[in-house]
Amino acid sequence: MDFTHPSEKILNAPRRINMTRCKFSYEGESYKIVLHEVKSHNCIKICFGDLYINGQFNKQIVVKAYESISINHFDFDAYTGLVDEIEIHTKIESKIGYSKYFSHMLFHYWNETSIGVIYDYFGTTLEKIDMTQYSPKSKILMIQQLINQINFLQENDIYHGDLKPSNICITSNEEIILIDFGIGYFKDFYCNPRLNIKYNTTITAGSPEYVGIYLAFRAGKEYPKELFDKSQHFAIAGLIFGILINKPRIYFSKCFKIINSLKSANENLENLNLATRFKYFNDEFCNTMSNFISSELDLIPELNEFKPILLNMLEYDYKKRLDFNSILSQIEQINKYI
């Protein structure tokens, strides 16, 4: 098996623990996790629970974990995915420290057969939340937060790479938190070897240009930072559009439908690797998506001012797309009149 032992990648990752039956010790304190709900998700378990320190409730947490049933049933992708996730969190932490707006690795554990990461619980994701409960002002604030956070990461050469409603939480204070940096990377010094694995494409493919250029970049092709910095504009435009019209997933399902119509008949969308999937980023994709968003916005006159901003973000030529600071100042102008 082509398998790099995790210790080579995450030996120095901070806050490694030995978890036994949901208990561990760290710096002289005893910790206990009480789980309420366990969900299986692509072989990974997502466990929701509470963290107790020395018997006192501390906070709500999420454990993202993989455990192989036996050595013969070892899921390489699931295990390695979590190794990558620990690695990128370590790198983010060493580069920009702690930010309350991105999921932050509290603890992690691993041995030959199991691996897990413990995060703060941040609330419901944009995928599941009922957006009609928020006022137009609140939604604009969320959009501004989202752009500011992605801009901040990108200024530090960190790219999330999988921006979509299931990877964005909204806290009870209406704060936007980015989670799931599993396929994120640092442009300058980080290579994510997992980009060739097969992905279920049902709701991903939000940034069709992003991985395409990243793969070519890794193969030696040079790209300006500006292109990297604008390569997630599609997913972000889709998220803004979805937040505004209370349907956060709409862009992402349209994305899937467009790619489905562009692919050849013998290709199975559920089984494309990322490189193949992202070859469908082309003029036709951009035009179809722009026409779709434009016609949907025509039905809602009060959102008309967002139309030029979103259509600009969906330009095929990245040089025509505005940078985040210009987008933010245009949104700020709209905000004044709402």
Q: Which is nearer to ligand ADP, 68 or 330 (CB)?
A: 68
Site string for ligand ADP, 109-138 (x = CB under 6 A): ----------xxxx--x-------------
Looking only at residues 203 through 262 of this chain, which bind ligand ADP when binding is defined by CB under 6 A?
none
Among 85, 180, 209, 296, binds Mg ion (CB under 5 A): 180
Q: Which tokens in the block code for residue 157?
A: 């050469």
User: What phi and psi values does residue 11 have, to the nearest 5 degrees?
Assistant: -55, -40
The residue at minimum Cβ distance from ligand ADP is 180
- The stretch among 165-173, 199-207, 211-219, 321-329 that binds Mg ion (CB under 5 A) is 165-173
Closest distance of CB 306 from Mg ion, Å: 26
Q: How far is CA 39 from CA 73, 171, 332, in A?
A: 19, 20, 39
**CB-CB contact of 147 with 310 (8 Å):** no
- CA-CA-CA-CA torsion sign (224, 228, 229, 234): positive
- The stretch among 41-49, 94-102, 231-239, 322-330 that binds ligand ADP (CB under 6 A) is 41-49
Closest distance of CB 164 from ligand ADP, Å: 9
Q: Which tokens in the block code for residue 98?
A: 């702690």
**CB-CB contact of 294 with 237 (8 Å):** no
Q: How far is CA 255 from the centre of its chain?
A: 16
Closest distance of CB 329 from ligand ADP, Å: 31
Closest distance of CB 114 from Mg ion, Å: 20
198/277 Cα distance (integer angstroms): 10
For position 62 contacting ligand ADP by CB under 6 A, the verdict is yes
Site string for Mg ion, 115-154 (x = CB under 5 A): ----------------------------------------
Pseudo-torsion of CA 63, 44, 215, 311, nearest 10°? Answer: -70
Q: Which does 110 bind (CB under 5 to 8 A by kind): ligand ADP, Mg ion, none?
A: none
How many positions of this chain bind ligand ADP (CB under 6 A)? 18
- Choose among 192, 230, 175, 224: nearest CA to 208: 230
Looking only at residues 133 through 172 of this chain, which bind ligand ADP when binding is defined by CB under 6 A?
166-167, 169
Q: Which is nearer to ligand ADP, 42 or 196 (CB)?
A: 42
- The stretch among 174-182, 213-221, 222-230, 288-296 that binds Mg ion (CB under 5 A) is 174-182
Q: What string of H, E and C letters represents the secondary structure of 160-195? A: CCCCCHHHEEECCCCCEEECCCCCCEECCCCCCHHH
User: What phi and psi values does residue 178 have, to the nearest 5 degrees?
Assistant: -85, 130
Among 17, 46, 215, 262, binds ligand ADP (CB under 6 A): 46
Q: Which is nearer to Mg ion, 6 or 206 (CB)?
A: 206
Q: Which tokens in the block code for residue 240?
A: 């803004």
Closest distance of CB 170 from ligand ADP, Å: 10
335/338 Cα distance (integer angstroms): 5
166/196 Cα distance (integer angstroms): 22
For position 85 contacting Mg ion by CB under 5 A, the verdict is no
Q: Which tokens in the block code for residue 181?
A: 């940096």
For position 324 contacting ligand ADP by CB under 6 A, the verdict is no
Does residue 217 come out as left (phi exceeding 0), alpha (psi in the -120 to 50 range) or beta?
alpha
Q: Which is nearer to ligand ADP, 86 or 286 (CB)?
A: 86
Q: Interface residues with Mg ion (CB under 5 A)?
A: 166-167, 180
Q: Interface residues with ligand ADP (CB under 6 A)?
A: 41-42, 44, 46, 62, 64, 103, 119-122, 125, 166-167, 169, 179-180, 182
